[in-house]
Structure 1
Amino acid sequence: MAGGMPRAEYLLAYICGNVPAPPVSPDARLAAHSAAAAGGDPDGADRISGLSDALLRDIVSRLPFKEAARTSVLASRWRRVWLAAPLAVVDSDLVDDCPPEPADEADVTAAVSGALAAHPGPFRCAHLTSTRMGEHQPLLKRWLRILAAKGVQELVHVNRPCARQVVVPLPDTLFQITTLTSLYIGVWRLPHATRLKGVSFPRLRELGICSVLVEDGDIDSLVMRCPVLEILNIQGSTKRLHLVSQTLRCVQISSSVVENIALVKTPCLERLILWQVKGSPFPASDMRTRIKIGIAPKLRVLGYLDPAHHLLEIGGTRITVLLLPPIFHFVHLATVDFNVIILVECGELQAGMEPTGSAILTTVKVLSLEVCLGANGAMMVPAFLKCFPNVEALHIKSAKCDEPAGKFNIEYWQKVGPIISVLMRIKVMTISEFRGEQHELAFLQFVYQNAQVLESAVVTAANRRFTGISDEQMTSILQQLDSSRWASDFGLAIMGSNGPEGGIPWMFQRGANFSNDDPFAPVKMRSELLFFMTSSCLCRFYS
């Protein structure tokens, strides 16, 4: 159970919230009101029928399937318009209960079959998420053949999960739909790469794989068969990922157990976004996901890097921190496999130690880290920052510390001199899931004292339901920051949150929206601003 919802239904809701929304609204209606009824000219003219056929087809294509079909009975002209309009088939809109219950499955399958047969195509979109397809495999193959013949462009196909889930293989018929520009699949088993020989999606630009059982190399092989693919989204799938693509611009992986993620050759990649990606499903395991960045000269947005669960390797150099006893003084070590570029003696970073040129990515402008600022993983923050010296927006998701180390105070951060030059370039800095701990305050004070071009900062407090800290208490805690020592006159906004514990789940739409330069910018979950602070100590309180 998840929040009172059966696990299978929770999984379905999570997947459906992560796939692209249908291009039609179930509430859309077509109504031709006379000008007189609308309070305009009294001639009562039918303005809609005066539009061109091309414009009418565009209007009809934006209606739910049932509403679009109703226009065909208005007149012979409307029937021609309906038959020529590229329609969307959304199974949840075809029955009265929305969203459909499992008991509605027979009605849903009958409605989908009827809709696919009634229209000659093309179909601009098909959303099929309401049926447990393991019980309807012959019907599924027929649907896919029809969609292939009628040129569907966007397909979301989720095998509705159930309590006793049987992994259903995705029919080979799907891979015959060469007209697809967007494809999202959920709760299937992907055919082995050997069965996809000769398969190609020549127009596919967006691919989503959600809770799909795959073998090593299957996704890699599928990506290579998509010559214009720009967006790859993966949720709950894969073990190892080795990407070679000339066209990929955005890769997002969420809620997944992945041993290795390798950007082998991705010359157009702009965004790599990871959310709750771990190397092992077992919390006690120390296995971490190895992230290898090879050829990615356009990488601009990167996160959430998590020192507790990720090992970062750039250009063949592993970024790591070694804790050495005092008998060992600061040295630069190397092995035959990788370079160790950051060393720590008793928890203190050596000033002046620089990563090698191959371990620096100057293109990254937006960086997000998920880190417990009171545990040893915080030592990786300087290491990561030195590898991305041109970061302009830094976002920290503060992970909960069960046993804070106690040494990460302002004096500790003042000793990590090598990152001050990086902080001097940061214009935007946010921290989310803030709990008011002293190690969080120390890190913020250090950043604010050294970020000379900082323009705006946001602190989003964790939901008070989980921290037990009231808004008034949080305000008092944050006023401990010594704004008189800040390096620039920026505005600090203190926000509240009513999101779930651990933060808002990542949604693929955020990262794939290229019109938004910074997908990690805070998402408001509660409207009130607790207070606003500047270096001149002016505070404005809001209720």
Structure 2
Amino acid sequence: MGMEAGAPGPSSRKRKASAHEAPAPAPTAVEAPGAEPTAEDREPPLSGADGDGGGAGGDRISDLPDAVLGDIVSLLPTKEGARTQVLASRWRHLWRSAPLSLDHRYFLFDEEGLDVAISRVLAAHLGPGRRFCAPVYHLPGDRADAWLRSPALDNLQELELCSFSYMLPYPPPTKQLPPSAAFRFSDTLLVFTIGDCHLTDDITQVLHFPKLQKLALKRVLISESSLHIMIAACPALECLLIRKSSGFRCVRINSISLRSIGVSGYSPRGLNFEELIIENAPCLESLLILGSCECGLISVISAPKLEALGYLSSHYGTRISFDSTVIERLSVDRLTTAVCTVKILAVDMHALSLDTVLDLMGCFPCLEKLYIQSTGPGNTNFWRRKHRTLIRSLDIRLKTIVWRCYRGIKSHADFATFFVLNAGVLELMTFEVDVEDFNEEFCAQHRKMLQVDSRASRGARIRFTSDWSYKYHMDFSIHDLGPADPFERTYPLKGDITFVLC
């Protein structure tokens, strides 16, 4: 049994590399354009990236073209990007000319206040803009329009306008109209998240986003006809997220570009989202049902490339229909045609049931990845006699199993042992364990309980981790819809420790 510290995933490595190339000094305020060089500006340039002075005493990082350095700076958080101005005179102009990426969450604790801090950044930056994330609905007067019309945001690629934050007041109970200036970027936007507002028919009739790839509607009031008009106005749309929005009953998807859809149907008032019909989506690869989705029926008529599906839940009454095959509360009814395209499945069940999972595997016979989330005590899950005949004929193609909220009780261990002993091509089985239960003794005990030494796949790795991601699917953003496997986390939580049994 080996122990390894959680290693950062690709996204974390990317962030850390950028921070190493441009280390941040002590906090300083964003200066106005044209300020005199400071003492830090006159300091010697950075040493070479390899620590040997660049071989000839030069600064290899600063030798990069402005365009490359600008991209590095724009990937940093707003404050850290601005602070690169004090590294050396070579860097002084880069932040002001690099595409601006401004996220209000980095300014929530500023002494001068969020509104003042954002206004100062916009005044100091020359543009263009890359990303702007700000709560606009609590602002007085025309402040939101003033921000959005700033030259620092010209040619903006990503815009997020939502008010919800634990540090900010809730949006007003009556939905407001979005700031009119928000739509001046329609020709350049690639990502648009809009929330806490009323998108009227007058607004949507004139919208057109020729380059938009990702659209998220959060707590938006919009009519059914306007919603379809808005989707049609995005000919390059690849990812669509609809969360807790209202004003429509049914959404029909006919798109040759959509690759990923995420839906959450709960809304506290108004006409609720009850039905999703995917009529024609030839490129659709993932369908996500998020949180407490009360969308009553999801019908998949034509999605020949659908590979990722979830979370199927035993908690809510959503029915999913594939032709004549219906899945409701994880129960498969009238199975007449297997869905062979789905390779990634995520399920959320209170009482863990091997019978239920085997039924789903019969519905999706080509599954390669299975994500399980279960916190309940589980059923008896005895299988050695009950499924003896089935085991001889069942072709288990699973290569990866991720179990979120594994408790280690007998019913959970019996369930896991079935796959340890019968999944012949299994490569990795990960158990995410509550940190209170997580220790070497727990892992050693489960090596015996799971009969790891008798596993069907001799190359399979059994991994226990304290990185517990319970209800992770509640926090999906529009960017989580992009990857081929939307349920896979690419970074560990702080303090993650892993035990690998084999």
- What is the TM-score when the length of structure 2 is the normalising length? 0.73
Which residue of 95, 101, 104 corresponds with 1:88?
101
Q: What letter corresponds to residue 209 of structure 2 in structure 1?
A: F
Aligned 1:493-504 pairs, distance under 5 A:
493-497=462-466, 499=468
Q: Give the whole-Å Cα distance in 2 for the aligned partners of 1:260 and 1:432.
A: 29
Bigger mean CA offset, 44-53 vs 231-240: 44-53
1:356 aligns with 2:318: no
User: How far is 1:438 from its partner?
Assistant: 2.9
Q: Select the residue among 322, 326, 332 that pairs with 1:318.
A: 326
Is 2:411 the partner of 1:439?
yes
1:195 and 2:203 equivalent?
yes
Q: Distance in 2 between matches of 1:205 and 1:494?
A: 36
Partner residue in 2 for 1:141 = 145
Counterpart of 2:4 in structure 1 is none
Structure 2 gaps of 5+ residues are: 1-14, 26-39, 268-272
Q: Give the structure 2 partner of residue 451 of structure 1.
A: 423
Letter in structure 1 aligned against 2:237: L
Q: Distance in 2 between matches of 1:523 and 1:413?
A: 39
**Aligned mates of 2:412, 2:59 — CA distance in 1:** 65
- Aligned partners of 1:424 and 1:59: how far apart in 2? 45
* Letter paired with 1:414: H
Give the number of equivalent residue pairs: 452
**2:297 maps to amino acid:** R
Instruction: Give the letter for the 2:214 counterpart.
Output: E
Distance in 1, matches of 2:226 and 2:358, equals: 36
Q: Report the CA distance between 1:74 and its aligned residue.
A: 5.9
TM-score by length of 1: 0.68
One-letter amino acid matched to 1:140: A
Using the TM superposition, give the Cα deviation of residue 370 of structure 1 relative to its aligned residue in structure 2, in angstroms: 1.6
Aligned to 1:127: 133
What is the percentage of aligned positions where both structures have the same residue? Answer: 22
Q: Does the 8 Å CA contact 2:374/2:405 hold for their aligned counterparts?
A: yes
- Maintained 8 Å contact 2:421/2:455: yes
Give the Cα–Cα distance (whole angstroms) in 2 for the partners of residues 374 and 512 of structure 1. 27
Question: Could you tell me which amino acid in structure 2 is paired with residue 251 of structure 1?
Answer: I
Coordinate RMSD, CA, aligned: 4.4
Per-residue CA deviation, residues 114-139 of structure 1 (Å, 9 max, x unaligned), is 24xx62x432222324xx53333522
Write the deviation string for residues 10-56 of structure 1: whole angstroms up to 9, x where unpaired. xxxxxxxxxxx9x9979657977348998648997788887656556
Distance 1:101 1:292, change over 3 A: farther
Larger radius of gyration: 1
- The question of whether the paired residues in 1 share the 8 Å contact of 2:373 and 2:405 is answered with yes
The aligned amino acid for 1:361 is V
For 1:491-517, what per-residue CA distance to the aligned partner results, in whole angstroms no more than 9, with x for missing partners?
342413253665685444774453x65
Which of 450, 460, 484 is residue 491 of structure 1 equivalent to? 460
1:250 is matched with which residue?
260
More relative contact order, 1 or 2 (CA 8 Å, 6+ apart): 2
Q: What is the CA–CA distance in structure 2 between the aligned matches of 1:203 and 1:44, rounded to whole Å?
A: 45
Question: Is the 8 Å Cα contact of residues 342 and 366 (structure 2) preserved in structure 1?
Answer: yes
- SS of alignment partner, residue 175 of structure 1: helix
- Matched residue type, 1:265: N
Question: 1:146: how far off?
Answer: 4.1
| One-letter code aligned to 1:233 | L
How far apart are residue 362 of structure 1 and its match?
Answer: 1.4
Distance in 1 separating the partners of 2:415 and 2:489: 19
Measure, in 1, the Cα distance between the counterparts of 2:491 and 2:67. Answer: 39
Distance in 1, matches of 2:152 and 2:89, equals 30
Aligned amino acid, residue 128 of structure 1 = A
Paired AA for residue 133 in structure 1? Y
User: Does structure 1 residue 386 correspond to structure 2 residue 386?
Assistant: no
Match of 2:488 among 520, 535, 540: 520
5+ long unaligned stretches in structure 1: 1-20, 280-287, 324-338, 342-354, 534-543
| Cα 1:198–1:411 shift into 2, 3 Å | same
- Cα contact 2:100–2:152 (8 A) shared by 1: no
For 2:376, the aligned partner's letter is K
Where does residue 225 of structure 1 map in the other structure? 233
1:410 aligns with 2:379: no
Encode CA deviations 1:455-486: one digit per residue, 9 max, x unaligned.
Answer: 3322333x154xx6866356435522345764
Give the distance between the partners of 2:60 and 2:237, measured in 1 at CA: 42
Change (3 A) 1:410 1:438: farther
